Amino acid sequence: MMTQTQRHTYTGANGRESLYELTSRPANQELVVFVHGFMGFMDWGAWHLVGDFFTNAGYDFCRFNLTHNGGTPNEPIDFPDAEAFGQNTYSKELFDISSVLNQLESRHRTYQKIHLIGHSRGGGMAILAAQQWQQVSPLGNVCTWAAICDIARRFPKDDELKEWEESGVRYVKNGRTLQDLPQAFELYSDFEKNKDHLDIKAAAKEIGKRLHIFHGDKDTSVPISEAYELQVLSGVEVNEIKGADHVFGAVHPWDKQQMPAQLQELCEKTLEKL
């Protein structure tokens, strides 16, 4: 059967709208949902080819933008809305994933299995979302690509943390766009208030054998040691992609017709786990 690709909006955290894309076949009963990472977006690099890979393998595929990633429904690429970026929190991202899953089931169809793939910070959020969602509806497998295993260590400490609290905002550089993007102190205070619900390691332990961990051994953004921390808790193996960096050989923009070899290998190994 022919696939159909459509873009829609969903309403996520704080009533903010964002974009998602669903590629589907009428009779499919299994869906893969892809969660992008920090300073990421659904149209980054070769993610569209990742979608093609899984739809060609017989799955429906959804990729989406988190509501406070800095994009808008009309401008989904890069970070035109720095104010929204600055208001992001981990709780909002978790709410967004749940909102997307709810809309996919209410607007499109009820799938027999929904699998999550999350990249980088999105990997950690996928683990948390799976822990939360399994109490509502059956989930398939959770595959993490270069995932973080802990949120607390993402924050500054001591004087730098105090300065952030006093000023209310700090700025992070995007190395590609060269934007200085704001982060409100709410990012930290929200985590402190909700840390029991944002414990990636505890969620990984609860998910157990449904978790599948993938990481490049040349990742300098999220060290592969974090993958092995997840391994200890979940009891599953770490699937190393040899020679792969944090984005598995891709860059933005990606104009080639094929994925980089390491990303292709990652997709093939992920498919084996679904």
pLDDT(104) > 70: yes
- Give the span between the Cα atoms of 74 and 76, in whole angstroms: 6
Give the largest CA-CA distance in the chain: 59
The residue among 1, 3, 66 whose CA lies nearest residue 33 is 66
Q: What's the confidence (pLDDT) of residue 133?
A: 83
What are the boundaries of each domain within the chain?
A: 4-154+197-268
Read off the pLDDT of residues 117-164 as tens digits, 9 standing for 90 and up: 999 999 999 999 999 887 666 689 999 999 999 999 999 999 999 999
pLDDT > 70? residue 1? no
Residue of 175, 261, 249, 253 lying closest to 218 (CA atoms): 249
Tell me yes or no: is domain 4-154+197-268 CATH 3.40.50.1820.
yes
Question: Confidence band (pLDDT; 50, 70, 90) for 2?
Answer: confident
The chain-wide mean pLDDT, for the chain, equals 96
Tokens of 138: 């059956």
% of the chain at pLDDT higher than 70: 98
pLDDT in tens, 150-199: 999 999 999 999 999 999 999 999 999 999 999 999 999 999 999 999 99
pTM over 0.85, yes/no: yes
β 142-145/113-119 pair status: parallel
pLDDT for the residue numbered 139: 82
Q: Give the closest residue to 134 by CA, choosing from 206, 63, 185.
A: 206
